[in-house]
Every structure is written in structure tokens, then in C-alpha cells.
Amino acid sequence: MKGLNIVVCVKVVPKNSEIRIDPETNGVDRRGVDSIINPPDKNAVEAAVRLKELYGGKVTLLSMAPPGLDDFFHQMMAMGADEFVLLSDRAFALADSYPTVHTLAAGIRKIGKVDLVLAGVESADGGTGNVPPGLGEALEFTQATYAEEIDYNSEEKRFIIHRMNGSGHEVISIPSPSVVSIELGVNSPRFPDFRRKLDLDENYKMTVWSNKDLELPEDKRGLSGSFTTVEEFVEAKKRERKHERIEGTPEEIADKLADLILENMN
Amino acid sequence: MGKDKKAKGIWVFIEQFEHAALDISWELLGKSRELADKAGEKLIALVMGDNVEHIAQEAVHRGADEVFLVEDELLEHYKCENYTYAAYKVIKKNKPNQLIMGATPNGRDIAGRLAVKLKTGLTADVVSLDTTKDGIMLGQVPGFGGSVLAVIKCEVARPQMATVRPGIFEAIPIDKKRKGKIHKIDADLDKKYETTKLIKLQKVEGVDISKAKRLVAGGRGLGGDVSALKELAELLDADIGVTRPLCDDGLFPRDHQVGSTGVTVKPEITINFGISGAAHYTAGINKSNTIISINNDPNAIIFEYSDYEVIGDVNKIMPLLIEKLKAKLMKEVKQ
Ligand SMILES: Cc1cc2nc3c(=O)[nH]c(=O)nc-3n(C[C@H](O)[C@H](O)[C@H](O)COP(=O)(O)OP(=O)(O)OC[C@H]3O[C@@H](n4cnc5c(N)ncnc54)[C@H](O)[C@@H]3O)c2cc1C
């Protein structure tokens, strides 16, 4: 293929502020909770579409998810992606990061001849950030995580990555094919093209692969392939707070605040 | 690696940058000392780099019973293929029961890769860590932006891996009388297999707000003008924390960001100006002793996390507060 064959791993997550613990089951109560596109995934799609605009090629979005989320998937496609591949099967459900990595890797291998795998840096729902580097291992690709910028050198067939490593800022180059995770907020994701979205809603039929297509053994998919188990959920402890309201004119408030701050300084 | 009854020891990966260990490494070693004693395990530090023997020595002084020291030119800078290869070799041979790493960019980069290579479970971004007496690791992980904590374990595979957020645990002070064995390991690395090229590296002299005694924190309610926040910080000798959008907008570097993808703080006092109180943010300030919040929305969630609440406009209150504080501080000096 001419240009870059890019796969972006994407996910739809529950809006986190609405999650509560169900006191009866001690499980996470997702009822009535809205979903959103995992925020850094939009940055990853934006990065992919920009690379395609510069160097040509194709952007395929890949998600492991239950059915029924096409609206979100079409929104992401309408940012400029070409295809969508959904990995969907009960056999994939309740996966922790290890089987998720192997399921996505199987999807990427089946797509074939991939130059670059992009993903958001982590998912907003219990995000681990384990998946992008895990994919690097499973696919035997080089990896770069926490990327803030990505460019491509078509002569050397290498990607140039800017990333923060926690102590400094580094610029590295890694060969094609690679896995790169894109940090949240590093670019401005474009708005979905409204007409493209409508067209996709009406006419697009995405590729759906089940485990019949991927043929993953039990130890590489879903619950059976997971190593970690959730022992229990606990509500994050909120410390008891005084909840004293400070009132008055702005002058009076500022005066009381100043006293309070100075009292609490030592 | 599968379940292995012979797997022994609590291992801590000592992350270093330019020959200096990161604070998180010593925090992990401090906490793991306690866990190792509880589970009756040895505490082992894994030190990788080039010319880092002094770090191995310090690991002993800070609580490690033994150190595996892997030195090689190719480990000078973090490159995932070299680090993964070297770590995998040592781990495969010596079979740790638990392996704990920092949830830093590079710590998470190598942990995610190693876990798949070792075929084991990885609990990421732990905020609280415990072990059973027979060595089962219990990691608490914030889910859904911090409103829920999941207690996670990995019973079936070894090593049990976890990455831990910086700023949560305390390091043990250096005790030069402590003794421990340092095993030097040959990494057997070959330049031929190196795929990452380092083009440029710039050390960022960051601030560490995780140890702040006082924090003045600003959010989008400041309307992009952070001058009053800076003035207050100077006046109170406080550190500055901000919500994520202010970093995204380039108003402050990342190391000022408080929250689930930023820093966890535990100061005596935190003052929030124009911050809504998203779970991502409050996860980072929960350990503050006293919290004061100023927001013009009476229903702002931040008030649920506050000892003192002001419903008001930061643009009006901050300049007045600065004035009052200056006057009161002057008076103190004169007395
Ligand atoms: C994966 C992920 C990770 C994230 N990690 C973090 C993180 O680590 N830390 C973090 O902070 N955020 C994080 N966020 C973002 C987080 O969800 C919130 O969007 C963010 O904390 C909101 O910042 P804010 O309170 O400054 O802005 P807003 O939510 O916009 O709130 C501004 C507040 O200011 C008040 N206000 C406006 N004008 C005035 C005025 N004149 N006077 C007084 N008050 C005023 C408003 O009432 C409002 O409550 C993350 C998001 C995602 C998706």
C-alpha cells in the first residue's frame, strides 16, 4: 500500500462522574450512566488523520466492544477515518489487560501489513495504560508511550516521537511498524464531519469479527484469559470535612479567609 | 510465567534518570520493606542503568536485603527494548513473587510490556498496597476517575505486578549501617537489537508539589489569568497546583497538575480557586488536612470536599484576599 496503514485502537467508556457503587451487590452500578468516547482516543484519531493527510494511506479504527455503540464509532470515523473493525463476542467479555492485548493484537494481525498502531494513553474507566505497551510486546513491535507529537520520516521509514518521560523531554525515533500511545490533550481533535456521519449511519457496514474469525484460545481472551480479579469495590473514602460557609461582603469574606489561612499555616 | 510456588521475594524496580534514582523508587522501597516483613519475604531492589552502582548501595541503605544490579552502556537511557530484555532475563531466572514499579511514564511503559512477556497480571496505578501473610498482593486502584476503588489481586500467576502512583508512600531515611548483598548481572545486550534512537534529551527542572506544605490551586474559573494565583503563592510561601485544563492550555507545566493523572498532594492547607471538583481532580487533594474552596456556583462539587466554602467570584475575592494577607503579615512582622 502507498502511504501509511494506520490502526487506531479506540474505546467507549462510561462518564466517570456518574458511577456509583450499588450497596446491594457491592458492584459498580452503571445503570443510566451516559457513555463517552474515551477522551485521549480522540487525540489518537486526530494524530492518525493528520499523518494520513501528510503521507497518504489509510486509517482503520479498531475496538473490542459489545454491539450497540455504532453512533460513537461513526462519530470517530467522521473525524476522517476510513474503516472500522469491531471485535465483538461474548468470549471477549470481562477481559483485563492481558487478554485485551491479545484480542486487539489478533485483530491487528488480521487487518495485516500495519505500519503504525495508535491508541489513547489510557482509558478513563479504570484506565491502566497497560494495553499500548502490552500490544508492543504481543505484536513484537517497538513502542513509544505518552507521545505528545508524532511525525514520520518516509525515507527511513521511522516515526519521530516527542514524549515526556517523567524527568525530561525526549525526542526519539522508532522504526515502522510501531505502537504509539498518544497523551491526552496534546492536539485539538477535529469535529466529526456531520454529513459523513449521517452517511455512515445510513450506509456503512462495519467489519465485525468474532472469535470464529480470530480463533483465540481460552487463555488469550475474555475472563478466562485474565490474571487479575477484583476482590471487592470500595467507595473512595471522602474525608469528613467541616463544610463551614463563609459569608458576608467580599471585603468581609476576604478578611475572614485571610485569618483562616494564617491560622492554618503552621 | 504461570503460578510458581517457588516464586520468592518482593522486588522493587528502581527507576533512575541520568544516574540519579527517582524519589518514587525510594517510596516504593520504603513501603515494600513493610510488606516484605509482613509476608516474611526478602526485599530485593532491581537497579538497571550505566554506572549506577551508587544507586544499588543506596537501595541497601534504604531497606533492600539484596540488589540485582544490571549495568550496561545500552541501559544509559531508557529504551524499552533494552530495558525489557534485561529485566525479563533477571526476572525469569530469579522468579520474584511480587514486582513493584513506579507509575511513571517509563515505569508504566516497561511494566505493560513485561507483564505480557511474563504472562502475568499487572495492577496499574495503585494508590494503596497491601499483602496477605502468604504473599498475595492486594492493590487498590481508583476506577472511573477516582470515585470508586477496586481491590485487585492476581492469584494465578507470578510475579504479581503492580505500578504505584508517586507521592503516596514514604521513603525510609538512609541508614549507612544497613548491609545487603549486591548481585552484579550481565545484561548480555546487543546493540544490533536496539530499535529506538535517542535524538534529543532535555532534562526538565521540574517542581515537586507532592511534598507541598501549603497549596494554592487554580482552575478554569480563573479565566486564564494566573497572576493573582502566583502572587498568593509567593505571599504564603505556598506551591501552586492547577487542574488539568490549565496544563493542557500551556499555562503551567505538567508537574503542577493535581489529580488522578497528575500529582497527589498532602499539604496542611489547600485553597481551591475556580475549580469545579471533578473526581479526577479531587482524587489528588483528598489527603489535604484543611481545604478551602472559592467558587461562584453554589452547587459546585468541590464544596463536598471542603472544610470552608466561599460562594463568590475569584476575580473579586483574590485581590482583596491578597490585600488583607499583606496587611496581616506586615502586622505580624512589626509585632
Ligand atoms: C482521563 C482523564 C484524566 C484527567 N485527569 C485529571 C487530573 O489529573 N487533574 C485534573 O484536574 N483534571 C483531570 N481531568 C479533567 C477533569 O475531568 C476536569 O475536566 C477538570 O478537573 C476540570 O478543571 P476545572 O475545575 O479547572 O474546570 P471546570 O470544570 O470548567 O470548572 C471551573 C469552575 O470554576 C467556576 N468558576 C467560573 N468562573 C468563576 C469565577 N469568576 N469565580 C469563581 N468560580 C468560577 C465554575 O463554577 C466551575 O465550577 C482528566 C480528564 C480525563 C478525561
pLDDT in tens, A8-63: 999 999 876 556 666 666 666 666 778 999 999 999 999 999 999 999 999 999 99
Report, as ranges of residue numbers, the positions in chain B whose pLDDT lies below 50: none
Question: Residues B214, B182: one domain?
Answer: no
Q: Is residue A146 part of a domain?
A: yes
Q: Is residue A234 part of a domain?
A: no
Of residues B201, B163, B205, the one with CA closest to residue B79:
B201
Rounded Cα distance, B236 and A261, in Å: 9
Question: Residues B176, B320: one domain?
Answer: no
Can you give the pLDDT at residue B6? 81
Can you give the pLDDT at residue B183? 98
B202–A168 CB contact, under 8 Å: yes
Question: Residues B25, B160: one domain?
Answer: yes
Q: Is residue B200 part of a domain?
A: no
What letter would DSSP give residue B171? P
Q: Is residue B28 part of a domain?
A: yes
pTM: 0.88
Rounded Cα distance, B189 and B86, in Å: 7
Q: Atom 39 (ligand 1): residue with closest C-alpha?
A: B221
Q: Is residue B63 part of a domain?
A: yes
A166–B141 CB contact, under 8 Å: no
Question: Residues B75, B172: one domain?
Answer: yes
Q: From the list B113, B303, B321, which residue is nearest A254 (CB)?
A: B321
Question: Residues B54, B169: one domain?
Answer: yes
CATH number of the domain that residue B19 is part of: 3.40.50.620
Q: Is residue B204 part of a domain?
A: no
Report, as ranges of residue numbers, the positions in chain A whose pLDDT lies below 70: 1, 16-31, 126, 266
Q: Is residue B5 part of a domain?
A: no
DSSP E strand stretches across B76-191: 98-102, 122-126, 128-131, 137-143, 148-153, 160-164, 181-185
Question: Residues B214, B268: one domain?
Answer: yes
Q: Is residue B199 part of a domain?
A: no
* Cβ atoms of B39 and B134 closer than 8 Å: yes
* Structural domain span for residue B266: 209-334
Question: Residues B152, B14: one domain?
Answer: yes
Residues of B in contact with A169 (CB under 8 A): 201-202, 204
Q: From the list A238, A258, A264, which residue is nearest B328 (CB)?
A: A258
* Cβ atoms of A235 and B239 closer than 8 Å: no
Looking at B148, B168, B193, which one is the last position of a domain?
B193
Longest Cα separation, chain B = 71
Of residues B91, B79, B154, the one with CA closest to residue B118:
B91
Q: Is residue A248 part of a domain?
A: no
Q: Is residue A101 part of a domain?
A: yes
Can you give the pLDDT at residue A46? 98
Question: Residues B113, B261: one domain?
Answer: no
Residues of B in contact with A246 (CB under 8 A): 308-310
Cell of B234: 509567593
Can you give the pLDDT at residue A17? 58
Question: Residues B215, B184: one domain?
Answer: no
Give the residue carrying C-alpha cell 469545579.
B276
Q: Atom 26 (ligand 1): residue with closest C-alpha?
A: B219
B3 CB within 8 Å of a chain A CB: no
Q: Is residue A193 part of a domain?
A: yes
* Structural domain span for residue A26: 4-225
Question: Residues B54, B144: one domain?
Answer: yes
Of residues A84, A12, A79, A19, the one with CA closest to residue A43:
A79
Element housing B264 (H / E): none
Residue of A131, A219, A228, A251 for testing the chain B interface, max B β-carbons within 10 Å: A228
Can you give the pLDDT at residue B119? 97
CATH number of the domain that residue A41 is part of: 3.40.50.620
Q: Is residue A246 part of a domain?
A: no
Q: Is residue B3 part of a domain?
A: no
Question: Residues B60, B16: one domain?
Answer: yes
Query: What residues line ligand 1, using a CB cutoff of 6 Å?
Result: A 39, 124, 184; B 219-221, 243-245, 257-262, 274-276, 278, 280-281, 294-297, 300, 313-315
Question: Residues B330, B252: one domain?
Answer: yes
Residues of B in contact with A185 (CB under 8 A): 244, 247-248
Number of domains present in the structure of chain B: 2
Can you give the pLDDT at residue B167? 82
Q: Is residue A159 part of a domain?
A: yes
The ipTM value here is 0.91
Can you give the pLDDT at residue B311? 97
- Determine the residue of A184, A186, A246, A257 to mutate for testing ligand 1's pocket, defined as the one with the most ligand atoms within 8 A of the Cβ atom: A184
B200 CB within 8 Å of a chain A CB: yes
Average pLDDT in chain A? 92
